[in-house]
């Protein structure tokens, strides 16, 4: 795929099982490798032979994972590239449906193998638990449904990626329009917000149709697996052994009691500083003192260079990891037409290197995003010595600790984006120091403000998948009830339809169902890492790096403990962390 920013990457370790010449997008060439593994399972009569069989299985899985990842990267980098789309859909339609039942057959052979019980513990504890769980859940009839689900997700990405507006004679993506919401000119902000909102409204029907189809597919997937609803199925499918849907509901309640007062306080201070009677949706991103938007960098090269300097300050090993990504062209960071929305880090599993995708346009949020995705990348790099393929990734709840903690740790050196000038002019130096403080304040307020939106997204999906057969009107009412509970004090008068369908922009609801509460759980972990760094920076960073190196080899509570955190998300856990954030905000 010539549209990939990086070239062909060699395996981190030479292959010992998968032929170097095999075409991993051609199922007839792949199938014999699964045939060999199935035959060899019975021949593995000693533990060492059984472990070698596992590692060969891992080698094949990693190679196929990387093939799928590279095609997805090419497609999301260029949603308007017909060849990239064709290659992605070919893999989704012709390889993945064949792959899933063959992987399942190997999982069945593993679970039934007489040497399984002799594998060393705790080394294989998590792997064993997760494979057994997957075997219990797998249904052949769900393969076609999951393929249809992936195709609907691609339709959603293409729909959103194509959304542009004509702004004062220029075509702009909706991401590019975001910078104007930070402008002091309130009329300009309202014009911008309204233009973008009206563009989104044009696709309401298409988004609703996609969502209707996704709900139907997902409920059928759950039913096929023997569950009453998709919520219950997803908790098992995501191996959520350490918390329950009821715990998530308690989390929502704790956010309402402990965090919403802080959110309303921030909103009230914003309203007063802006000298407004009411906050409107276009007043939420502008600096409350009507200062010009923060401009952390002028172009992508500058953003990368300044990010590199942050890591140089933070830790030599992490700095070297980020430099490696530049050297190997594992970054695609600029926003452009035809590029899928959002940002992600994707691990190229066989090369054991990370790739970062984002849509930078020169705003402060881009700095937070690159630090966030770099945290994910550092996680992937920390586990590259792990040969058991599933252990090179961790539960999402902990993956996001890696990324969110890096936002907070990296922010300690945010002056690299907002440097103080050493020219003897104290006024100028004070201005630039104030910009760094302002960036930190914006980030902390964003963390506080995230929790209610997380509760909306998670609570909304709880409602959707526990109310089968609901109408669109009922779905809309349920969403608005959550917005009333967690939306704070923002006046949407005259914009009610925009507010009622604002969930359409949250790609997780469409592409990654129930993958959002993890962000909230992980944010509490990240805040704990940050709190630890306030008392002992060196130990907090060392614990952070050691916990990343564990990958997914230990249960979730142990991963949190290794990072110096507790896997708890109740009011008692939240209260001191919000108090710390509030005290920092006062100083800023």
pLDDT band at 8 (very low <50, low <70, confident <90, very high): confident
pLDDT band at 241 (very low <50, low <70, confident <90, very high): very high
pLDDT at res. 425: 53
**507, 341 in Cβ contact below 8 A?**
yes
Residue 103 has pLDDT above 70, yes or no: yes
Question: In the 8-state DSSP scheme, what is residue 184?
Answer: S
Residue 426 has pLDDT above 70, yes or no: no
The 10 Å Cβ neighbour count of residue 10 is 10
Return the bridge partners of 331, or none.
356
Domain residue ranges in the chain: 27-138
Residue found by looking up tokens 């909706």 in the block: 174
As a whole number of angstroms, the distance between CA 338 and CA 13 comes to: 35
pLDDT at res. 291: 85
Three-state SS at 108: helix
pLDDT band at 421 (very low <50, low <70, confident <90, very high): low
Each residue of 26-54: pLDDT tens digit? 999 999 999 999 999 999 999 999 999 99
Residue 391 has pLDDT above 80, yes or no: yes
3-state SS, 414-478, equals HHHCCCCCCCCCHHHHHHHHHHHHHHHHHHHHHHHHHHHHHHHHHHHHHHHHCCCCCCHHHHHHH
Half-sphere exposure of 245 (CA within 13 A, CB side): 17
As a whole number of angstroms, the distance between CA 516 and CA 161 comes to: 21
3-state SS, 25-70, equals CCHHHHHHHHHHHHHHHHHCCCHHHHHHHHHHHHHHHHHHHHHHHH
Residue 294 has pLDDT above 90, yes or no: no
pLDDT band at 337 (very low <50, low <70, confident <90, very high): confident
Residue 1 has pLDDT above 80, yes or no: no
Q: Is the dihedral of CA 575, 580, 583, 585 positive or negative?
A: negative
For residues 245-257, average pLDDT: 96
pLDDT band at 583 (very low <50, low <70, confident <90, very high): very high
Q: What share of the chain is helix, strand, coil (3-state, %, to 5)?
A: 70, 5, 30
pLDDT band at 342 (very low <50, low <70, confident <90, very high): confident
pLDDT at res. 429: 53
For residues 81-110, average pLDDT: 93
pLDDT at res. 412: 94
* Residue 104 vs residues 38, 98, 136, 431: alpha-carbon distances, Å: 11, 11, 10, 60
pLDDT band at 179 (very low <50, low <70, confident <90, very high): confident
By DSSP bridging, strand 353-360 and strand 331-334 are: parallel
Q: What is the mean pLDDT of the chain?
A: 94
Beta strands in 233-369 (DSSP E): 331-334, 344-348, 353-360
**78, 84 in Cβ contact below 8 A?**
yes
pLDDT at res. 432: 53
Greater confidence (31 vs 427) lies with: 31
pLDDT band at 225 (very low <50, low <70, confident <90, very high): very high
Residue 433 has pLDDT above 90, yes or no: no
As a whole number of angstroms, the distance between CA 71 and CA 95 comes to: 12
Each residue of 349-380: pLDDT tens digit? 999 999 999 999 998 999 999 999 999 999 99
pTM for this model (two decimals): 0.87
- Report the range of poorest mean pLDDT among 136-140, 176-180, 289-293, 304-308: 289-293
State both tokens at 122: 């705790």
As a whole number of angstroms, the distance between CA 431 and CA 107 comes to: 60
As a whole number of angstroms, the distance between CA 285 and CA 184 comes to: 10
Nearest-5° Cα angle at 90, 84 to 94: 165
As a whole number of angstroms, the distance between CA 70 and CA 76 comes to: 10
For residues 445-465, average pLDDT: 97
pLDDT band at 319 (very low <50, low <70, confident <90, very high): very high
pLDDT band at 334 (very low <50, low <70, confident <90, very high): very high
- Report the range of poorest mean pLDDT among 396-400, 431-435, 518-522: 431-435
């Amino acid at each position: 795929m010539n549209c990939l920013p990086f070239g062909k990457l060699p395996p981190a370790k030479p292959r010992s099982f998968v032929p170097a010449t095999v075409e991993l997008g051609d199922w007839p060439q792949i199938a014999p490798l699964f045939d060999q593994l199935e035959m060899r399972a019975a021949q593995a009569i000693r533990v060492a032979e059984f472990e070698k069989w596992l590692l060969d299985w891992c080698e094949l899985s990693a190679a196929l994972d990387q093939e799928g990842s590279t095609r997805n990267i090419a497609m999301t980098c260029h949603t308007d590239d017909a060849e990239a789309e064709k290659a992605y859909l070919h893999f989704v339609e012709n390889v993945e449906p064949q792959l899933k039942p063959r992987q399942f057959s190997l999982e069945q052979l593993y679970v039934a193998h007489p040497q399984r019980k002799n594998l060393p513990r705790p080394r294989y504890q998590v792997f064993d638990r997760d494979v057994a769980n997957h075997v219990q859940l797998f249904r052949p009839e769900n393969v076609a449904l999951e393929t249809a689900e992936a195709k609907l997700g691609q339709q959603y990405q293409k729909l959103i990626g194509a959304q542009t507006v004509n702004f004062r004679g220029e075509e702009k993506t909706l991401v590019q329009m975001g910078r104007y919401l930070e402008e002091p000119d309130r009329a300009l902000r309202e014009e911008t917000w309204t233009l973008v909102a009206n563009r989104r409204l044009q696709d309401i029907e298409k988004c609703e149709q996609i969502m209707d189809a996704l709900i139907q597919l997902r409920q059928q997937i759950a039913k096929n697996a023997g569950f009453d609803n998709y919520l219950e199925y997803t908790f098992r499918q995501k191996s959520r052994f350490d918390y329950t849907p009821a715990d998530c509901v308690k989390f929502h309640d704790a956010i309402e009691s402990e965090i919403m007062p802080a959110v309303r306080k921030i909103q009230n201070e914003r309203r007063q500083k802006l000298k407004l009677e009411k906050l409107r949706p276009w007043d939420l991103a502008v600096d409350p003192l009507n200062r010009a938007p923060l401009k952390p960098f002028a172009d992508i090269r500058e953003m990368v260079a300044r990010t590199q300097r942050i890591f140089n300050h933070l830790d030599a090993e992490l700095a070297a990891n980020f430099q490696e990504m530049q050297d190997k062209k594992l970054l695609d960071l600029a926003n452009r037409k035809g590029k899928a929305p959002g940002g992600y880090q994707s691990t190229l599993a066989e090369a054991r290197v990370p790739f970062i995708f984002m849509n930078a346009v020169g705003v402060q949020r881009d700095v937070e995003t690159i630090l966030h995705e770099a945290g994910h990348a550092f996680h992937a790099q920390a586990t590259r010595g792990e040969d058991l393929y599933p252990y090179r990734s961790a539960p999402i709840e902990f993956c996001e600790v890696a990324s969110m903690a890096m936002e907070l740790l990296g922010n300690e050196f945010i002056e690299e984006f907002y440097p103080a000038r050493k020219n003897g002019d104290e006024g100028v130096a004070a201005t630039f120091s104030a910009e760094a403080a302002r960036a930190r304040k914006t980030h902390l307020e964003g963390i506080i403000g995230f929790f209610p939106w997380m509760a909306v997204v998670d609570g909304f999906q709880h409602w959707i998948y526990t109310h089968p057969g609901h109408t669109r009107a009922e779905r809309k009412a349920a969403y608005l009830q959550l917005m009333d509970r967690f939306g704070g004090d923002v006046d949407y008068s005259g914009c009610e339809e925009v507010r009622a369908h604002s969930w359409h922009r949250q790609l997780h609801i469409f592409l990654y169902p129930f993958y959002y509460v993890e962000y909230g759980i992980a944010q509490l972990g990240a805040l704990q890492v940050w709190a630890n760094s306030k008392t002992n920076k060196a130990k907090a960073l060392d614990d952070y790096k050691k916990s990343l190196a564990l990958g997914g080899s230990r249960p979730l509570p142990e991963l949190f403990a290794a990072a110096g955190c507790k896997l708890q998300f109740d009011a008692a856990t939240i209260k001191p962390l919000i108090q710390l954030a509030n005290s920092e905000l006062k100083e800023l």
